[in-house]
């Protein structure tokens, strides 16, 4: 019994790794607060609405796509193409369903970031609903 406990402890300890992004982008801390009352985020007041953040360094590499899934569920994705090194053309666009990389026209699902064009997925950020008008977006 003691051996079983030790074996299970070792297995669980070894399986606790830091999350790894499946993309070519370097690490950068993202920790921003979004005020949904600001005019640029008005589309996030309805389910299915989307918006984009500015492109300054605090918002990842090329900015962040925001999508309202339901009343208190949001998704946030990095706008930089995950399968390319950073360049002028590696800022994705969004058509309401797919993120598209203009460098090579590869597309990524706005549901889970997956792609049929590349093994990489769009980098997703954690979204916390602080209150009815505030979101906190982080990558930790």
Question: Does residue 40 lie within any of the structural domains?
Answer: yes
Which residue range(s) make up the domain with 75? Answer: 23-138
Length of the chain: 140
pLDDT at 122: 96
Residue 138 backbone class (left: φ over 0; alpha: ψ -120 to 50; beta: rest)? beta
What is the pLDDT confidence band of residue 4, given thresholds at 50, 70 and 90?
very low
Question: Does residue 130 lie within any of the structural domains?
Answer: yes
The string of pLDDT tens digits covering residues 25-82 is: 888 999 999 999 999 999 999 999 999 999 988 999 999 999 999 989 999 999 999 9
Question: Does residue 17 lie within any of the structural domains?
Answer: no
Residues 6+ apart with CB under 8 A from 121: 22, 23, 82, 108, 112, 113, 114, 115
Enter the pTM of the model: 0.83
Contact 24/84 with Cβ under 8 angstroms? yes
Examine the pLDDT at 6 and tell me if it is beyond 60: no
Question: Does residue 27 lie within any of the structural domains?
Answer: yes
CATH classification of the domain holding 101 = 2.102.10.10
What is the pLDDT confidence band of residue 15, given thresholds at 50, 70 and 90?
very low
Residue tagged 């985020």 (tokens): 41
What is the pLDDT confidence band of residue 8, given thresholds at 50, 70 and 90?
very low
* Higher-pLDDT residue of 6, 2: 2
What is the pLDDT confidence band of residue 20, given thresholds at 50, 70 and 90?
very low
């Amino acid at each position: 019994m003691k051996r079983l406990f030790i074996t299970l402890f070792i297995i669980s300890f070894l399986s606790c790794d830091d999350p790894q992004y499946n993309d070519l982008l370097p690490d950068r801390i993202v920790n921003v607060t979004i005020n949904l009352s600001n005019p640029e985020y008005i589309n996030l007041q309805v389910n299915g609405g989307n918006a984009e953040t500015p492109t300054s360094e605090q918002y990842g590499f090329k900015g962040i796509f925001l999508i309202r899934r339901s009343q208190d569920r949001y998704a946030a994705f990095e706008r930089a193409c995950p399968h390319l090194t950073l360049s002028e053309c590696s800022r994705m666009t969004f058509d309401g369903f797919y993120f598209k990389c203009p460098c090579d026209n590869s597309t990524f699902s706005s549901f889970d970031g997956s792609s049929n064009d590349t093994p990489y997925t769009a980098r997703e950020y954690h979204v916390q609903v602080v209150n009815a008008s505030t979101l906190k977006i982080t990558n930790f």
